[in-house]
Amino acid sequence: MGSINSLIRAGIKSLKPYSSARDEFEGESAVFLDANENPFFGPLNRYPDPRQRQLKKVISELKSIPVENIFTGNGSDEAIDLLIRAFCEPGVDNIVSPDPSYGMYEVSSAINTVDFRKVRLNNDFSLNTKAIRKVADKNTKIIFLCSPNNPTGNSFGRSEVLSILDWFEGLLVIDEAYLDFSEKPGYSLDVLAKQNLVVLQTLSKAWGKAGIRLGMAFACKEIIEVLNKIKSPYNINALTIEEAVRTLHDHQEKERRVQEIIRIRHQVREKLSEMPSIKTIYPSDANFLLVKVDNALEMYNYLANRNIIVRNRSGATGCENCLRITIGSKIEMEMLTDAIGNYEKEHKL
Ligand SMILES: Cc1ncc(COP(=O)(O)O)c(C=O)c1O
């Protein structure tokens, strides 16, 4: 493949980025009169580190990935948007992704006026790599793969995923938002060898910190540099940096909670498999179960009327009458299965 540089949009390549006061000065100082901050109200009176050095050091140690290969964003959603903005020329380039998958790839493409080409997953929700290759052309700059996939819950085969890198000249972005709930290995270390591979991870799922908005992208230095060039200067706020550093230090707590969620996932699967209204429970490597019922809208409304909100994914390709159920606490899951039991009684199932 050609160099990463040749994939970057011309206007971005020539862009002179905004340089913030804290970009220009490195180090400790007693007197900061460079950023028009307020001298009172400390410590949040100061702008945060635009390069998130402390946070990236923690991520680097945890993931065994050098700091220069790490981008941190306001959720992985920011990284998705910035990748499109850096590499896809509006109205010219296109993006390819399996269908169904995480909705933000399509939304971000549309916001950036980039053609989004969907390739239907096989009936068992595995990747149709042949169809992906057929749909991609010389203007395909990004292929987004979400593994484990949202909303189907399955992981894609490693050899199929890597086979795309054999022929694809653009960026292969693998979104691993749900990887911690899977026993299969991820691809983050592969970015050190594969120049056009980008891996996305997040603190929103296994780490339990959706509220602080912290996403990570791992990639070669050239890709990380361009993301840093076009991000807003202080994209991660000081409170998020502080909480993320604290959270990432508690790796054991995260692992304990992940194991608990996986245990509950197994228990709920067992319970649901005995319930007559549940027709299919799809395999899941994630913190949710996709289930097929007879009438998804009716069951969704029934549960919503009892203050239990699941996601009706009936509109997603190949997911007719499917509900996506997030694995909650044991008590929440009991409330769910009790409510489905009542639904069945009322419907004489
Ligand atoms: C596959 C996938 N990627 C990314 C995200 C969003 O991640 P973040 O909260 O880091 O923006 C989600 C959220 O549901 C998701 O399902």
- pLDDT at residue number 2: 64
- pLDDT at residue number 24: 75
Pocket test for ligand 1, best of 59, 102, 218, 236 (most atoms within 8 A of CB): 102
Ligand 1 pocket, residue 153 CB under 6 Å = no
Describe the strand order of the beta sheet including 94-99 as a list of residue ranges. 70-73, 215-218, 197-202, 171-175, 140-146, 94-99, 115-120
**What Rg, from alpha-carbon coordinates, does the chain have?**
22
Q: What architecture is the 4-249 domain classified under in CATH?
A: 3-Layer(aba) Sandwich (3.40)
Ligand 1 pocket, residue 146 CB under 6 Å = yes
**Sequence-ordered list of residues with C-beta below 8 angstroms from that of 1, at least 6 positions apart, any chain:** 168, 169, 195, 196
Ligand 1 pocket, residue 76 CB under 6 Å = yes
Ligand 1 pocket, residue 102 CB under 6 Å = yes
What are the extents of the domains in the chain? 4-249, 252-346
Pocket test for ligand 1, best of 78, 80, 104, 176 (most atoms within 8 A of CB): 104
Ligand 1 pocket, residue 175 CB under 6 Å = yes
Ligand 1 pocket, residue 150 CB under 6 Å = yes
Distance of CA 254 from the midpoint of ligand 1 (Å):
18
- pLDDT at residue number 1: 58
Pairing state between β 171-175 and 115-120: unpaired
- Do 252-346 and 4-249 fall under one CATH topology? no
Mean pLDDT per 10-residue segment, the chain (349 residues): 88 92 75 92 94 97 98 98 98 98 98 98 98 98 98 97 96 98 97 98 98 98 98 97 98 97 98 98 98 98 98 97 98 98 95
Compute the distance between CA of residue 198 and CA of residue 161 in angstroms, rounded to an integer. Answer: 13
Task: State the burial class of residue 192 (Cβ atoms within 10 Å of its Cβ: 0-12, 13-18, 19+).
Answer: middle
Structure-derived torsion over alpha carbons of residues 98, 231, 61, 186, reported in degrees to the nearest 10: 0
Compute the distance between CA of residue 57 and CA of residue 69 in angstroms, rounded to an integer. Answer: 11
Compute the distance between CA of residue 277 and CA of residue 299 in angstroms, rounded to an integer. Answer: 9
- pLDDT at residue number 19: 86
Ligand 1 pocket, residue 177 CB under 6 Å = yes
CATH number of 252-346: 3.90.1150.10
Compute the distance between CA of residue 160 and CA of residue 126 in angstroms, rounded to an integer. Answer: 9
Please give the model's pTM, rounded to 2 decimal places: 0.97
